[in-house]
Amino acid sequence: MMSQLPEGMVFVAESEGIEEYRMANGMKVLLSEQRAAPVVAFMVLYHVGSRNEAVGYTGATHLLEHMLFKGTPTFNARRGTAIATVLHRIGAVFNATTWFDRTNYYEAVPREHLELVMQLEADRMRNALILDEDREQERIVVRNELERGENDPLNVLEIHTWATAFREHPYHHPTIGWRSDVENVPTERLREFYHTFYWPNNATAIIVGDFDREQVFRWLQRYFGAIEPSPHPIPEVYTVEPPQEGERRFVIRRAGEVGAMMLGYHTPEAKHPDIYPLAVLARLLAGGVTTRLYQRLVDGELAVSVRAFASHLRDPGLFEITAVLRPGIEHARVESAIREEIARLQDERVSEVELQRAKNKIEAETFYARDGALQFAFALGEAEASADWRWFIDYVPNVRRVTAEDVQRVAQTYLHEDNLTVGWFVPKNTKGYGAAGAGERWGGSLHCPAFFKLEASAGAAGPPSGQSFAKRTVSFTLSNGVRGLILENRANPTVEVRAALFAGRAFEPITQPELAAVTASMLMRGTKRRSKLEIAAWLEDVGAEMHIGANRFLATASATSLSPDVGRLLETLAEVLREPAFPEEELVKLKSQMIGQIRRSQEHTGVRAFERFSQLIYDRSSPFYEPPASERVASIEAMTVEDVRRFYRAHYGPRHLV
């Protein structure tokens, strides 16, 4: 290994198939060979994010991220070599994201194009144009993005929670920046920011997928090795948030359909050992149907949804609990229920069954998030940004070591009143459906990035890349007509199952919109053998996930588990598809939840515009026609168990199932 390295590149460490190298100019390099597909993910991660900003230029990191797509002297629109154009030509999946602790630029490409994207990223590391006319264009784009966020009640709630909880540390600022800074920051200030932080000794290059190591070393030296390290020390963030000395509260009153709330408790940085029991605590509270807050709030018909999330950042962050209220439910009632469940965790140790279920869930989710070269690179990059890439390796083993005593201790240590910020979003009275705002976007939240659910995955390690997907795919037909396809990939110890049949919205009666969605959603709410809670516990015990829903034409099921549990996964999927019980009490709960979700969706101007557009260009009989929200709500309210059973009998069966 050492003899293959070019002059100036040093091998540092290796663990679990990840290799670390250091270049002479200070740039860190992480490699992970994975050969399931002839593709490779390349990422340059800069250790600069909104934590490096201050009042006057908040949002500079994010705006600069946009500006770096405008080009360099080599790659620019004027020469017909715009960065986006070049990457589209080679079929790249590409983008960039900004976060508290880092900014990353990434591409997933066929392996033969790796050199080109390495050349491109090295070029924009030091040669970005950053022109004033480009800043004006991107300022408008970012301002529109900011305004969309301001119209999303949950985003607004989260921004204000962090801004209230952090008064001195720069986590006070939203990643996108404050409006006046975004609109007025001068181009020269962006250039100054670029020349301060965009250097090889403040960057980590991450390469995951199917590549030749010796070639990669040559290209790294050719394109990045020629760049000098920064002539100045990279500025450190030295501001420390002082301990909070009492509960903080705020209320936001805006037009909207349903209320929401967030509780944020100060927690330590990613390198702190309490991060792991805090992650387990979050899953115990709201990591699935069997969890405490789901049972208390969602099944208790107080909330439409609930989430708990333990941040892991370079500096101390927050433990968040977010609930979207059912219409007509008072905020105080939901907050009281949340606090009671927290008090229970502080007073009583969790059972071993509950503890193991939460730990299994985290382990499974961690492996799911690493499935595919691009997602693997993202997960590795997040660890590198918030702690170190070894955090990526050690995370699951550290979670496995968490005890019931650890969970109780961190609940007592961090989830107390003096450490708490509470925010309420209280909707003002509006007429009908259509208040300003936006729909629920857990994954796109400012403080919980959506990279773990990328739609485009670049594959993972496994069989030699010379074998095509078609040749590796096994197809079969069961005696009852069910068709199956199997593609083996042993890079990650996970299994994914997808199933589909023609039972989507296009097949429901015109007079009963949402019947397909209700029927699909009822399948997981009890069978002739097991209740909803028993099904959920059976899956959550091993960290498995299963979701069934309906789109325009199809009813679809998606299920994921660790490889040893594939039998349990398939058994459960078969049971819910073949033996649904359609219990009356679950239909009542589901109807209430769906009505709440429809009302929240009407807070999103894009949803309302799309619905109205479809109504203007399509006839009511068209499958592309979107009924008004009021009609969908009325249809759900009138729906009966017999309606659901009738639709199920007509459209569910083995002959059309794949």
Bridge partner residues of 39 (DSSP): 110
Q: Is there a single domain that holds both residue 566 and residue 479? A: yes
| 442, part of any domain | no
Which residue blocks in 208-287 are alpha helix, DSSP H? 213-219, 275-286
pLDDT in tens, 265-320: 999 999 999 999 999 999 999 988 889 999 999 999 999 899 999 999 999 999 99
pLDDT in tens, 434-466: 333 333 322 333 333 332 222 222 333 344 445
**Is the model's pLDDT at 154 over the cut of 70?**
yes
Domain span including residue 539: 472-651
**Tokens in use for 182?**
């975004």
| 83, part of any domain | yes
Average pLDDT estimate for 626-637: 90
Strand intervals (E) in 23-65: 28-33, 39-46
Distance in angstroms (rounded) separating the CA atoms of residues 173 and 281: 27
Q: Hey, CA dihedral for 298, 303, 304, 308, is it positive or negative?
A: negative
Average pLDDT estimate for 569-594: 89
Q: Is there a single domain that holds both residue 271 and residue 207? A: no
Backbone angles phi, psi at 424, to 5 degrees: -115, 135
Cβ distance 504 to 553 under 8 Å?
yes
74: exposed, middle or buried (Cβ count in 10 Å: 0-12, 13-18, 19+): middle
Q: Is there a single domain that holds both residue 358 and residue 494? A: no
Distance in angstroms (rounded) separating the CA atoms of residues 264 and 266: 7
**Tokens in use for 310?**
């333990």
Residue at 260: amino acid letter: A
Q: Is there a single domain that holds both residue 184 and residue 279? A: no
Judged by DSSP in three states, 87 sits in: helix
Distance in angstroms (rounded) separating the CA atoms of residues 299 and 350: 20
Q: Is there a single domain that holds both residue 352 and residue 306? A: yes
Q: Is there a single domain that holds both residue 496 and residue 645? A: yes
pLDDT in tens, 372-404: 899 999 999 999 999 999 999 999 999 999 999
| 2, part of any domain | no
Which of 131-135, 212-216, 456-460, 495-499 is predicted least confidently? 456-460
Average pLDDT estimate for 573-582: 91
Cβ distance 513 to 627 under 8 Å?
yes
pLDDT class of 3 with cuts at 50, 70, 90: very low
Angle at which helix 275-286 crosses helix 352-369, to 10 degrees, equals: 100
For position 180, what pLDDT does the model report?
Answer: 93
Q: Is there a single domain that holds both residue 203 and residue 336? A: no
Is the pTM here over 0.85, yes or no? no
Average pLDDT estimate for 66-82: 92
Q: Is there a single domain that holds both residue 542 and residue 637? A: yes
% of the chain beyond a pLDDT of 90? 63
Q: Is there a single domain that holds both residue 623 and residue 506? A: yes
Neighbour count for residue 332 (Cβ, 10 Å)? 10
User: Which positions ≥6 away from 194 have C-beta within 8 Å?
Assistant: 64, 128, 130
pLDDT in tens, 602-619: 777 778 888 888 889 998
Q: Is there a single domain that holds both residue 218 and residue 257? A: no
| 449, part of any domain | no
Instruction: Give counts: helices (H), strands (E), the chain.
Output: 23, 17
Cβ distance 427 to 260 under 8 Å?
no
Average pLDDT estimate for 352-373: 89
Cβ distance 168 to 241 under 8 Å?
yes
| 126, part of any domain | yes
| 460, part of any domain | no
CATH of the domain at 60: 3.30.830.10
pLDDT class of 153 with cuts at 50, 70, 90: confident
| 239, part of any domain | no
pLDDT class of 467 with cuts at 50, 70, 90: low
Q: Count up the domains in the chain and report the number.
A: 3
Q: Is there a single domain that holds both residue 394 and residue 500? A: no
| 446, part of any domain | no
Q: Is there a single domain that holds both residue 218 and residue 264? A: no
- Residue where a domain terminates, one of 427, 451, 480: 427
